[in-house]
Amino acid sequence: MQRQNNPLGPSDGQALLKEAQRLLTQRLAGSSRRRFLRNGLTLGGIAMLTGCDISANSNVEQALSQISRFNDRVQGWLFNADHLAPVYAESMITRPFPFNAFYAEQEAPEIDGNDYRLEVAGLVQNRQPWTLTQLHSMAHISQVTRHICVEGWSAIGKWGGVPFAAFLQAIGADLGARYVSFTCADDYYTSIDMATALHPQTILALSYDGKTLPRKYGYPMKLRMPTKLGYKNPKHIQVIEITNRFPGGYWEDQGYNWFGGS
């Protein structure tokens, strides 16, 4: 069947949203519920479902933003804090592990570890900055997990560091808060939900493959979450804030899904 090419009128944005939500509700009753919800609705998906060419319509942006936030809530509902991402043998590590950022590798920030201080802010009891020595003195774990990029590639790496839940407890973070946000030395920023922050595989990574975390992978630390897509894993972290205010993110503010589950 040939796709219709009818432009949407000014009042069709809300109608599109209602139609998308109606389709979601129908799928909830089906056996493919979880697969459908995890995939979410996209511009192309809505065009296919509604039979309209909506890519150039100015009313679509707001509707899609609302759908994206709806998908965030659904993904949060589906998230299981007890479910672990797959782990792999060290023989399966991707070598070399690829560099990935919105800038070239040689533009990665150079940070002096002796002067480095990790700042904490927001809903915490202790706002004292942390040195690398203090962070390295905490109990560490390691994991060999898969990094999944939204661009379609993946790679397996070995990360070591502090369980993020233990760090949050050490700073007296309000574990009932909704969000944890990150500000980074490379001008990147992002945020995650508290359930993911407390997941046992979420770590403040200080090493890669048994060695100090290289500059290209986020020195002096990155947040490593195998339950999230790659863009949700910030590098070169400078500030961690616990908040109930929605913080957004570098790519999320440009239209990427906020929850970003893998």
pLDDT of residue 15: 58
Same domain, 235 and 176: yes
pLDDT of residue 2: 36
Counting the structural domains of the chain, the total is 2
Same domain, 158 and 249: yes
Closest listed residue to residue 208, CA positions, set 85, 91, 105, 93 = 93
Distance CA 178, CA 94 (A): 34
pLDDT of residue 262: 73
Going by their DSSP bridges, the two strands 222-224 and 211-212 should be labelled as: unpaired
Same domain, 228 and 128: yes
Same domain, 98 and 35: no
Whether residue 123 lies inside any domain: the answer is yes
Burial class (CB in 10 A: 0-12, 13-18, 19+), 48: exposed
Burial class (CB in 10 A: 0-12, 13-18, 19+), 126: exposed
Same domain, 38 and 128: no
Same domain, 133 and 234: yes
pLDDT of residue 5: 40
Whether residue 248 lies inside any domain: the answer is yes
Same domain, 140 and 32: no
Same domain, 35 and 94: no
pLDDT of residue 252: 93
Whether residue 66 lies inside any domain: the answer is no
Closest listed residue to residue 67, CA positions, set 114, 129, 134, 22 = 22
Whether residue 61 lies inside any domain: the answer is no
| pTM score of the predicted model | 0.75
Supply the CATH number for residue 197's domain.
Answer: 3.90.420.10
Whether residue 56 lies inside any domain: the answer is no
Same domain, 162 and 34: no
Same domain, 137 and 224: yes
Distance CA 49, CA 57 (A): 16
Whether residue 50 lies inside any domain: the answer is no
Length reported for the chain:
262
Distance CA 239, CA 182 (A): 6
Going by their DSSP bridges, the two strands 154-163 and 179-184 should be labelled as: unpaired
The pLDDT profile of the chain, 262 residues, written as one tens digit per residue, is: 333 344 444 455 555 556 555 655 554 554 444 444 444 444 444 444 444 544 455 554 555 555 555 556 555 555 566 789 999 999 999 999 999 999 999 999 999 999 999 999 999 999 999 999 999 999 999 999 999 999 999 999 999 999 999 999 999 999 999 999 999 999 999 999 999 999 999 999 999 999 999 999 999 999 999 999 999 999 999 999 999 999 999 999 998 999 998 7
Q: Can you give the residue range of the structural domain that contains 237? A: 83-254
Residue that the structure tokens 């020195």 belong to: 219
Whether residue 201 lies inside any domain: the answer is yes
Same domain, 18 and 116: no
Whether residue 72 lies inside any domain: the answer is no
Q: Give the C-alpha distances (Å, rounded to integers) separating 52 from 60, 92, 209, 234.
A: 11, 44, 49, 37
pLDDT of residue 155: 98
Same domain, 98 and 211: yes
pLDDT of residue 82: 73
